[in-house]
Amino acid sequence: MRSVLKSLFLFNLFIILFSGCFPPGGYYPYSNGYSSGEVLRLNLCIKYQVQYGWSNGYSVDASVMKGSVLNQKTGTFNYNYLSTYVVVFWAQGEATIIELSYYFDSFTAIPISGTDQSGRTWQVAQTDFCYYSKISCALTSHST
């Protein structure tokens, strides 16, 4: 009986490992569904750095993707393959592409810094309260 159970276990393990039963991009137990080959569309709050703090917040529909996906979509190799980017389309032919300093598979109300293609620093967060905040400005402003 023991050898039958062992054989069944090994057979099931083999099926799981080699049949492609796992979701694309792997299994991430704390994930919001984003994997490296996808584009995640979110409503985000973004602000850019001004001389004495941060701009007002903009609530935008944004696309989040890895540099590899962005390179594929633009037909270039201009973006870091492993970095995560936030793309915001403002109008026909106008977009801001922000390379995030880090990304751990989700956004929160705590902003993540990033830099756009012209070198401007941005903060990106996912919050229902997207407005200018003196507390946020005081905590995150950098002297230049």
d(CA 120, CA 71): 21
pLDDT > 70 fraction of the chain, expressed in percent and rounded: 65
Provide the pairing of β-strand 121-125 with 112-116.
Answer: antiparallel
**What pairs with residue 43 in β-bridges?**
61
Alpha helices (runs of H) in 19-133, residue ranges in sequence order: 67-74
pLDDT value at 140 more than 80 = no
pTM of the model: 0.67
Q: Which residues, at least 6 apart from 139, have a Cβ–Cβ distance to it below 8 Å?
A: none
Where in the chain are the domains?
Answer: 40-140
Q: Closest Cα to residue 116, out of 102, 103, 98, 100? A: 98
Catalogue the E-assigned strands of the chain: 40-50, 53-54, 58-66, 84-91, 94-100, 112-116, 121-125
- Residues 61, 87: contact at Cβ < 8 Å? no
CB of 123 closer than 8 Å to CB of 47: yes
The mean per-residue pLDDT over the stretch 113-133 comes to 87
Model confidence pLDDT, tens digit, residues 59-105 = 999 999 999 999 999 999 999 999 999 999 988 888 999 999 999 88
